Structure 1
């Protein structure tokens, strides 16, 4: 029987290798067929691009950003390549020749490109652009030349720059005046970035103008504009490439731009629509703010807490921006429009007056949605799902949101090295979200950026797992969520209850539990009640920084408060309402650094660590709270949940999908992402990680043969990491990502050294979305 199984697996491996070789042969053949050489006119050559060479004879430091700027000036762009072939250009030529097949027309429509010949390139135009940019960065009178590199079918250009020594700032002065306005500018210049020794740069001057303009507007100068600011550089006082910089205000600047403005009236329209234009609506005043609505669509008391605009405050666009964001976050409104109307201005006025009008256009109160889903999970399960969702917005005229959801889904394990498990999942959920803090004390004034939301939720789920077991779960939570700023958010659930019931267990699953005391103990505790907290800091998509950071941490503490209300059983366990409950503390940290390399290239470093400590009633973490490693979102050269714990390596007859879990998880990932062609992106990556036990499971059973030997965390953990390397292709359609990652192991947890890469051990991971 064992010999027959070996032959079957060996045959399967050979088939996998054969398919991969065939696929490689097809790709090479297709790309070779896409040669465009035969289509190029005899009197033309393709333009293959340009490079820049800088002769830095003065050894000037910090030129990397300048080089990137100059690269962007290289015009035009050459025809794009995919693995060395100009596929877009190839299908353009095929179409031009009259080839009207479906594939040709489709590929030309999606990826076709007009040929870029060398004759279309204007060297002088590019040279002038480069010289102008160098002048704007202080490198006046630099020499730029061009040389051509010619091949049989292509030409490229090298632009060589003999860089001169740049001009640097000696003094920065403000033309003074007696108006209070100039005192405001002088105060702002204390934090200027234009310090002595700063290189001359028009971009720096532009940023300084923006900074001053924003500062003055925040102090109430409603009518001021950055175009009123002039910078003048004077080099006449020096012989060694230094300059004095003078900041002046244009003489023709209107006087109303030089005085601050106050808000003297605030009016809110909570149910604004165009039909109300000529209607006379009721007006209600609450804390100095007028609310105009026919009937009470939104209670003024509730809406007022979202406003950061107050009567007699100086105009501040930042307060207006945050108010707009806070109002939009309620979830009741489709549009939020804040307008300021300037009152009549007199020539001798030292203070201007504004009226703030806030127009709020609501969404439909009720909505019903049906969604067909395709889901992939970190455990290699994937499949279709159907979800129906009902929403009732502004339920109690205070922005409350009632949501009812029903889902049904089928999922199966995909990829190689899986155990062909599948399941049917049915779920029902209900939640009620209040766009404010429900708390014994009023803490509204403590939150300036985002108003906390209070959410109460109830969910139930039934899962039938492929001839193994059925699992029903009931979850309820009460908690808060808020944004501290545009990068930082918090979520805290003081009450988080989860009840899980295992039923319809088959003999196969019972055998698995009997052979793994650790696993059996993790299914014993069916009742979890505790506290959870999440902190997330993310610069992704919210910052103009070239290099961005993501950080997230979760804290989960269960069973602590219940111990005060529990009863002891004869077995020494504590129960609440007759249910034995879990006790543990769990924390994890996820840190990522995105290093921008330019031209859509990014190098991502990720470090992940998690620790769960069972105590009291629990000797191990509940199964749903344990850590796993391996799969498309973890160490991709290993099947999902197949690594560890530690050096433990169950035999081929006894190891299962459920064995490789632990209380501790460490993981590191390095991934280089780059564009390939249009929507197609590529990646090269390396992953390492493992899970370990906090308590060795031998303590759970008198029979040590049932323990997970080598599974406990020790000082030798570095040598117990699993590692893999691979490459991936992703189709990125407006942030909807279909991902294929091919990876192979290079180190096993039981080995202290790297292993030989074998094609037969590769794993193809399919997933939706980036791994991190």
Structure 2
């Protein structure tokens, strides 16, 4: 208690010292600026809507900003004063003063008239057309603040909106789409809406050939003299709009330069073009087949220009993955005297061959490897149709370390060849896609060797043929109608039975497995919109094995359908992964994930094949438990088992993590994980002592919540943008394998106890964020 009291006195003393030191180095006559205060209609009983938000917005627009503070302590100014004037422009004192500290912000830096104008302008833009803001300063000792008083008056609303009345083609287009106007009678006057309305009209005109039109050619005339705090809005075309801006243009010639560079510019223009459909192709090297451009360029000769085809063409040329430079140039014929444009497309190809190296981390716990390094050889335009061949080799690892055991490690080696065609290839059918994204047909083959220490290894051979296409920038679909996976386990025969006896359920998984089926994956994400405060990621997948393709398999003497004398796996597997990233501020993000999975095995199979099972525990999963050691259900693997490999047919998992920036590239995290896996049917074994089954492994909906494991912990991450290295330490606070009523173990947490630390602390090392 005495130590705690001393610590409290020391802390309070530091805070008092930091507060007092903020003004001690000021020169005579200098006053420290402490910030702005905003008052709205203080002498009136009338209140405005959202007054608190408006006041905070006005305060945020004042300049300068006062020195940064936490709990009223100007910590950066404290460091600045603590460092003093350094004798040379380097060293610790210079770093502390310039990097950790900041000089005092003085009241003399406040420009009242400038701030008055800025705040008044903002209020007018929000509809307070009669508003006036006046500012003054108040000084107390060596500190001072600015006080701004806003008299807003009434907020004006729109009474009516009218559009041009003449009969020109341009105004007809404006009037045809006026139902989509952003200016509605009864809405508050809002300057941003007027700006956006001009952009909306410009978009409508661009879709109808008005290539040179500009939103600045429109004027919004506002009449505020009609009384009752109402305004009439008239949308008109400015008289200064040039002739080129108010007439529609059509496409004359489409010239494509597929191997363009500045060095070859003059030579390419002298070539005799290859004429293909509506295109003139200038390429003496015949680098691409002409039909490639049918899928890239949406314009046709003689049609009117429109912005949709313009954007779709650019997006496709960028996303096809064959060009490092893309430029579309629209040039008027005869210096704007007629209404035709030539379209010149300049494309600079990427190198034919390239070699890349990457370091990545997996995020799904049913993958074996937590992190991997990958070397990829890429060959582009393989058959002159913008195809891409990627041949890669990768090695990965997943590791956890706890106080009572050695590191639990898995190693893998994978090699893969993937050939991507930038179009749909479907037998007897030629589907067309007209959106901005290139559809892809992908054929791949791969081999993976997974090593689980000295216990066993798995050889996995896989081949897939399917399609990948983006519905828009947020939604992506991947459909593989053909997916074949053959898994060959390698187990020391002398140790096989002992291994099966020590790890219940392993005898069902370490068997030859032949999976032939189909799969579909859907992904939605808006994470590319970094300006959003709330981002989402949703992934859903469904996979079937041995259904349609199983009809072509042979039946052996046991009634099993087989291929190459190996029974095929028959199952349906569903999984959903939903993530939310909420930015509390610029430096703090609250991340959440919900991961659900369900598998149904039938026919030949009593459970999902091992490489399709769900697992719980691990560095990207429920981090307070060893990799794949949790479950199924309330079953607990004996402590002496290093590699548990407890798979299940059903999974439920929830993760929540508070991520925050500490300093530079060093980030911290506080997290909690909850979840478990279950078998669809209880594993009862065969009734022998060698195979007693796994009591409590079956799923019962009414018991599911009571059988969840919960862990919590903290982590450090080095986030250098191009890679993330992660160290998390976690411990369980709920153990589902304990008797009911004893599963919460928060009362047993004791960091000072060596035995507790040895039995409960789990260290997770990984590359990339866990989700």
TM range (shorter): 0.7 to 0.9
| Partner deviation per Cα, 1:295-346 (whole Å, 9 max, x = no partner) | 2100101232221111222111231122111112222211111110111267
Structure 1 residues 447-456 or 709-718, which shifts more? Answer: 709-718
Q: Measure how far apart 1:228 and its partner are.
A: 0.6
The equivalent of 2:548 in structure 1 is 561
**1:533 is aligned to 2:520:** yes
Summarize the alignment of residues 366-515 of structure 1 with structure 2, pairs less than 5 Å apart.
366-369=353-356, 371=357, 373=359, 375=361, 387-409=374-396, 412-414=399-401, 420-505=407-492, 510-515=497-502
**1:256 is aligned to 2:240:** no
Judging changes above 3 Å, is the alpha-carbon distance between structure 1 residues 159 and 629 closer, same or farther for their aligned structure 2 residues?
farther
The equivalent of 2:204 in structure 1 is 215
| Partner deviation per Cα, 1:191-213 (whole Å, 9 max, x = no partner) | 11221221111111111111111
Query: TM-score scaled by structure 2?
Result: 0.85
Q: Measure how far apart 1:73 and its partner are.
A: 1.5
Aligned residues of 1:35 and 1:90 also touching (Cα < 8 A): no
| Partner deviation per Cα, 1:583-628 (whole Å, 9 max, x = no partner) | 1111111223444555455444433221111111111112221112
The equivalent of 2:285 in structure 1 is 295
**1:658 is aligned to 2:644:** yes
Summarize the alignment of residues 632-651 of structure 1 with structure 2, pairs less than 5 Å apart.
632-651=619-638
2:613 to 626, 635, 642: 626
Judging changes above 3 Å, is the alpha-carbon distance between structure 1 residues 632 and 71 closer, same or farther for their aligned structure 2 residues?
farther
Q: Secondary structure at the match of 2:505?
A: helix
The equivalent of 1:308 in structure 2 is 298
Summarize the alignment of residues 225-374 of structure 1 with structure 2, pairs less than 5 Å apart.
225-239=214-228, 241-279=229-267, 280-344=270-334, 352-369=339-356, 371=357, 373=359
* C-alpha distance in structure 2 between counterparts of 1:61 and 1:507, whole Å: 80
Summarize the alignment of residues 76-91 of structure 1 with structure 2, pairs less than 5 Å apart.
76-80=64-68, 86=75, 90=79
Aligned residues of 1:88 and 1:107 also touching (Cα < 8 A): no
Query: TM-score scaled by structure 1?
Result: 0.85
The equivalent of 1:748 in structure 2 is 735
The equivalent of 1:17 in structure 2 is none
Q: Secondary structure at the match of 1:139?
A: coil
Aligned residues of 1:378 and 1:632 also touching (Cα < 8 A): no
* C-alpha distance in structure 1 between counterparts of 2:16 and 2:453, whole Å: 47
Q: Measure how far apart 1:767 and its partner are.
A: 3.7
**1:195 is aligned to 2:184:** yes
Judging changes above 3 Å, is the alpha-carbon distance between structure 1 residues 641 and 42 closer, same or farther for their aligned structure 2 residues?
same
The equivalent of 2:598 in structure 1 is 611
Q: Secondary structure at the match of 1:513?
A: helix
* C-alpha distance in structure 1 between counterparts of 2:203 and 2:723, whole Å: 36
Q: Measure how far apart 1:559 and its partner are.
A: 1.5
Structure 1 residues 94-103 or 209-218, which shifts more? Answer: 94-103
Q: Measure how far apart 1:382 and its partner are.
A: 8.1
1:691 to 677, 689, 692: 677
Aligned residues of 1:256 and 1:345 also touching (Cα < 8 A): no
The equivalent of 1:41 in structure 2 is 25
Aligned residues of 1:73 and 1:130 also touching (Cα < 8 A): yes
* C-alpha distance in structure 1 between counterparts of 2:141 and 2:667, whole Å: 30
Q: Secondary structure at the match of 2:240?
A: coil
Aligned residues of 2:398 and 2:766 also touching (Cα < 8 A): no
* C-alpha distance in structure 2 between counterparts of 1:50 and 1:635, whole Å: 47
* C-alpha distance in structure 2 between counterparts of 1:558 and 1:382, whole Å: 23
Q: Measure how far apart 1:631 and its partner are.
A: 3.8
Aligned residues of 2:521 and 2:542 also touching (Cα < 8 A): yes
The equivalent of 1:591 in structure 2 is 578
Structure 1 residues 442-451 or 213-222, which shifts more? Answer: 442-451
**1:770 is aligned to 2:769:** yes
The equivalent of 1:133 in structure 2 is 122
* C-alpha distance in structure 2 between counterparts of 1:206 and 1:193, whole Å: 10
Q: Secondary structure at the match of 1:697?
A: coil
Q: Secondary structure at the match of 2:383?
A: coil
**1:170 is aligned to 2:185:** no
Q: Give the total of aligned pairs.
A: 741
| Partner deviation per Cα, 1:743-764 (whole Å, 9 max, x = no partner) | 5544333556855362535655
Aligned residues of 1:34 and 1:85 also touching (Cα < 8 A): no
* C-alpha distance in structure 1 between counterparts of 2:668 and 2:611, whole Å: 34
Aligned residues of 1:89 and 1:115 also touching (Cα < 8 A): no
Q: Measure how far apart 1:530 and its partner are.
A: 1.4
Q: Measure how far apart 1:532 and its partner are.
A: 1.3
Structure 1 residues 333-342 or 89-98, which shifts more? Answer: 89-98
* C-alpha distance in structure 2 between counterparts of 1:408 and 1:469, whole Å: 18
Q: Secondary structure at the match of 2:212?
A: coil
Judging changes above 3 Å, is the alpha-carbon distance between structure 1 residues 115 and 513 closer, same or farther for their aligned structure 2 residues?
farther
Judging changes above 3 Å, is the alpha-carbon distance between structure 1 residues 633 and 517 closer, same or farther for their aligned structure 2 residues?
closer
Q: Secondary structure at the match of 1:223?
A: coil
Judging changes above 3 Å, is the alpha-carbon distance between structure 1 residues 605 and 404 closer, same or farther for their aligned structure 2 residues?
closer
Q: Secondary structure at the match of 1:715?
A: helix
Q: Measure how far apart 1:266 and its partner are.
A: 0.8
Q: Measure how far apart 1:78 and its partner are.
A: 4.3
Aligned residues of 2:259 and 2:347 also touching (Cα < 8 A): yes
Summarize the alignment of residues 176-191 of structure 1 with structure 2, pairs less than 5 Å apart.
176-191=165-180
- Give 5+ residue unaligned stretches, structure 1: 1-20
The equivalent of 2:757 in structure 1 is none
* C-alpha distance in structure 1 between counterparts of 2:210 and 2:168, whole Å: 13
Q: Measure how far apart 1:406 and its partner are.
A: 2.5
Q: Measure how far apart 1:638 and its partner are.
A: 4.0
